[in-house]
Amino acid sequence: MAVSGKGKGKGAGSGSTTTKNFGNARDLTVRLKTARGRSASSQRWLERQLNDPYVAAAKREGWRSRAAFKLIEIDDKYRFLKPGQRVVDLGAAPGGWSQVAALRVKAVEGRGQVIAIDYLPVDAIAGVTILELDFLDEDAPDRLKSLLRDGGADIVLSDMAAPTTGHTSTDHLRIMGLAEVAAAFAAEVLAPGGVFLAKVFQGGTERSLLDTLKRDFSIVRHVKPKASRADSAELYVLATGFRGRA
């Protein structure tokens, strides 16, 4: 099962790192005429994209996807991305989170480092080393470690997602499985005090993963940024203060 980051669209700029007030967005609702060959679900997705203020803002500000605003909002509140840190972005395509991370850890200036991995191609991003490889491949963790300064990281981000089936229980198990794999990798590479942020689904983090994170980190919390669509089951688990490997 190949996994990738969520989000559509590409851009080249670094953009602003502040969130906007999208509350007035909008009386201007775009509706599409049903096109021949377009499914009803595709129709709904297109209409939602065209009417999404975060999609418009991402294009305007040069972010690769609306997902950039999710990381911006979370970091604006909890302030874990700092200059000089080493960051791994799992499931990075199309690159919105890597853009934000590179800007905030000052990777372009050579102070911080960002390593991104996805089986999908990701256009070059200033200050980011991109590995085109499925994170679930057996050699992926070691490939990532070999690229990291001193073989370790300060932050592991995971916006990985598997293709949805439409079956709620199955989709929940898939996303939780990816979160567990990401957490296991984080425990291998994080320096003491490190941070882990991963996508899960509402309904909460599975007890086994939550117990592991509470054992390994000082603080574990669930967060849902405003940039996550209200009708989405998407949720994030943020674990801070990695206690270090035993």
The CATH number of the domain where 81 resides is what? Answer: 3.40.50.150
What pLDDT is stored for residue 117 in this prediction? Answer: 98
Q: Which of 16-20, 230-234, 242-246 has the lowest mean pLDDT?
A: 16-20
What pLDDT is stored for residue 212 in this prediction? Answer: 94
What does DSSP say about strands 153-158 and 86-90: parallel, antiparallel, or unpaired?
Answer: parallel
Please check whether residue 184 lies inside any domain of the structure: yes
Quick: pLDDT tens for 134-166. Answer: 999 999 999 999 999 999 999 999 999 766 666
For residues 64 and 24, the model is more confident at 64
> Structural domain tally of the chain?
1
Please check whether residue 102 lies inside any domain of the structure: yes
Percent of the chain with pLDDT over 70: 70
Residue 98's pLDDT band, with cuts at 50, 70 and 90, is very high
Q: Is the pLDDT of residue 40 over 60?
A: no
CA triple 51-226-126, angle to 5 deg: 85
Please check whether residue 199 lies inside any domain of the structure: yes
Quick: pLDDT tens for 173-230. Answer: 778 889 999 999 999 999 999 999 999 876 656 788 999 999 999 999 999 998 776 6
Please check whether residue 72 lies inside any domain of the structure: yes
Catalytic residues: 199
Q: What is the signed CA dihedral for 61, 45, 236, 183, rounded to 10 degrees?
A: -100
Give the range of the structural domain holding residue 201, as residue numbers without chain letter: 64-242
